[in-house]
């Protein structure tokens, strides 16, 4: 069995508190720690890709996240309606909150699947 390469080197940069806060927000949006997000962005850039891993499509992941969210909300609403049920305002807000918390991760998964099927 081949052992994976261990990460034994590190890089660093001095940034402002405002820049760090932006990094934290972006990492949280992607469900990652700041160091994980930075490593992913640096390595993607090194390999000729944008931050989201797809060459040339910086906004693609954000757009896909919104499409994924809208799809989830719509399907949940239609399913409830088809069963003769109605969503209360609290249920709707809970649905929106759940979808928003998962949309970035699901969008990345879908884009990775699409990219993998193009390359495979």
For residue 111, which of 57, 39, 34 has the smallest C-alpha distance? 57
CB 51 within 8 A of CB 58: yes
Tens-level pLDDT at each residue, the chain (120 residues): 677 788 888 888 999 999 999 999 999 988 999 999 999 888 887 876 654 444 445 578 888 899 999 999 999 999 999 999 998 999 999 999 999 999 988 888 888 888 776 555
Each domain of the chain, given as residue ranges in start order, spans: 14-48, 56-120
Strand spans (E) along the chain: none
CA angle 98, 104, 109 (to 5 degrees): 110
Specify whether the CB–CB gap between 33 and 27 falls below 8 A: yes
What integer pLDDT is reported at residue 53 of this predicted model?
A: 46
The answer to whether 77 touches 91, Cβ cutoff 8 Å, is no
Euclidean distance between CA atoms 115 and 113, whole angstroms: 5
> CB–CB of 60/54 below 8 Å?
yes
- The DSSP letter of residue 54 is S
Q: What per-residue confidence (pLDDT) applies to 82?
A: 95
CB 61 within 8 A of CB 52: yes
């Amino acid at each position: 069995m081949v052992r994976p390469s261990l990460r034994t080197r590190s890089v660093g940069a001095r940034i402002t508190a405002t820049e760090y806060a932006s990094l934290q927000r972006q990492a949280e949006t992607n469900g990652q720690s700041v160091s994980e997000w930075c490593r992913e962005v640096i390595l993607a850039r090194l390999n000729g890709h944008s931050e989201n891993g797809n060459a040339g499509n910086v906004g693609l992941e954000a757009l896909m996240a919104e499409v994924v969210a809208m799809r989830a909300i719509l399907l949940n609403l239609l399913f409830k309606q088809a069963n003769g049920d109605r969503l209360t305002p609290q249920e709707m807000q809970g649905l929106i909150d759940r979808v928003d918390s998962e949309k970035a991760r699901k969008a990345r998964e879908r884009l990775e699947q699409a990219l993998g099927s193009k390359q495979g």
